[in-house]
Amino acid sequence: MNLFELTAQPDGWQAYGEEQQERVGFFTDTSVCIGCKACEVACKEWNVIPDDGHVWTGQSYDNTGELSANSWRHVAFVEQEKPLRANGEGGTGLRWLMESDVCKHCTHAACLDVCPTGSLFRTEFGTVVVQQDICNGCGYCVPACPFGVLDKRHLAPAPDLPAFAKEDGRVWKCTLCYDRLKGGHEPACAKACPTKSIQFGPLDELRERADARLAKLETEGWNGAQLYGRDPEDGVGGFGAFFLLLDEPEVYGLPPDPVVTTRDLPEMWTNMLAAAGALLAGVTALTLLGGRR
């Protein structure tokens, strides 16, 4: 990727040539999410992810807390004293905002930029996947992600499950069910969602569907309805997995204006080289002056 010129095309996607597939992704409509967590369960079952979230967080019915190496889908529960309608209709009683969060499969993904082994790669579907057989556990990608999606897996000994009996240390995250995509199937979470809150399909089609849904909610006067990650002109070039929210992103624990964290690297390197050059020139000049004396 040329960091000086961010585009709306996923980094590395064009390298597939004739094997390149139509870009696919998720549109998550939180206005119809019922918090059933079927997506969390389906994701774990299909991808053989260790159990997680057996704690009482105190955050409503949110037991997983956040996305992690062992939770690739996280259903957030937000309780608010806020009217459902923008005009105040329906009173100010308690309303629940529920949102199934997931890796955003960014158009410009900083995790790809910083991975030293090539473990992270762009698939022919435009998604971002970690290859665990190549990941060396360096963790560079973890702070590079502006959403805190990537995480290293740490497991306690489990003698009854040999695969999970030792420290893992590698990075794991949503693959958008890459194996299912290659077989012509939709991801497990979208397949299991009973309300179609999680919708899978060609990204351009999903964006059109999201625009129509937002227009409908705005016509009906829903309070706070907005699209998050739909715009290809945002700081990461748009998400491969975007959302319809019913309040500001911060309410759901999402950054309001995310940018690819490696965006300024070229300028930083240029400034550093210029400073190093100036320092070297100064040292050389002082050395020459000292020699003349």
| Model confidence pLDDT, tens digit, residues 190-200 | 999 999 999 99
| Domain positions in the chain | 13-262, 264-293
pTM value surpassing 0.75: yes
Band of residue 166 on the pLDDT scale cut at 50, 70, 90? low
User: Mean pLDDT over all residues of the chain?
Assistant: 88
For the cut 50, the answer to whether the pLDDT of residue 83 exceeds it is yes
- Helix/strand/coil for 202: strand
What pLDDT does residue 3 have?
A: 47
- Percent of the chain whose pLDDT exceeds 90: 67
At residue 1 the predicted structure's pLDDT band, cuts being 50, 70 and 90, is: very low
| Percent helix, percent strand, percent coil in the chain, to nearest 5 | 30, 20, 50
CATH number of the 13-262 domain: 3.30.70.20
For residue 210, the SS3 value is helix
Question: How high is the pLDDT of residue 2?
Answer: 44
Q: Which residue has the higher pLDDT, 265 or 75?
A: 75
Least confident of 94-103, 133-142, 150-159, 236-245: 150-159
Alpha helices in the chain (DSSP H): 38-47, 110-114, 141-144, 178-182, 188-192, 203-219, 265-292
Mean pLDDT across the stretch 146-151? 95
pLDDT in tens, 18-52: 999 999 999 999 999 999 999 999 999 999 998 88
